[in-house]
Amino acid sequence: MDLPVLYPPQYTNNRIVGGEEAAMGVAPYQISLQGTKSGQHSCGGAIIDERWIVTAAHCTRGRKASDFRVLTGSQILNQNSSKFYYPDKIVEHCNYAPRKFRNDIALMHLNDSIVFDNATQKVELDHEPLVPGSKLLLTGWGTLSLGGEVPSRLQSLEVTYVPFEQCRAAHDNSSRVDIGHVCTFNDKGRGACHGDSGGPLVHNGKLVALVNWGLPCAKGYPDAHASISYYHDFIRTHLSVDETSAEDEEDMMKGNNGHC
């Protein structure tokens, strides 16, 4: 295929193309991952526990926990009432392969517990298989058109689930599409693009996937996202690590299928 993979870029902002301003309260689990010094939005992510965020590994690669702050409970970037939390640990998937776009998922542990309220909530993880044509909600801070300005307000877009075989065929059977991905499609001119990498895709109120990569933004090819159900063991292993003994943890860390 002649078209280059356009995202994930290193430390630039993936953006939703063709979205619209999100309805108030539609995604209380949504976070903005920002540079501690710059205060600039770099990636999306989701709250999955009072001290844990899930995002894409390419958002954190080569950086320290202290390089980030996490905005919660706001659909507007950097407003005066914004609530920030600070990571003290980053856990990238042990088999993350940047060049192959595999296992692109990471967890961030916060140094303080998130205070939940109407605007800030964790999202439940989805484990049910999707059926072709299922509608997912993609949210993030993105441009309204390719190359447009970045709005300060959260954007949303409904996208359609594409089965693995169909997605891989659309990408000329590229190995970049693997069983750890959930693929989505929308009309040409609408979809994920530079940013909102790590951003959540939700089905029936449950987290299904995180934005990973795609071909040139919203050009009519399916986008590929990290499957939450595929990486369930990876997520649960680290969320429960404080409740297990070292021996139990070692046993839990054995295995494959997204588990490490």
Q: Active-site positions? A: 58, 104, 197
Q: Which residues of 161-190 are buried (b: 16+ CB within 10 A; e: fewer)?
A: bbebeebbebbeebebbbebbbbbbbeeeb
Sequence-ordered strand ranges (E) for the chain: 15-17, 20-21, 30-35, 41-49, 52-55, 68-72, 83-85, 87-92, 106-110, 124-125, 135-140, 155-162, 181-185, 191-193, 200-203, 206-213, 223-227
Please list the alpha-helical segments (H only) found in 149-228.
Answer: 164-170
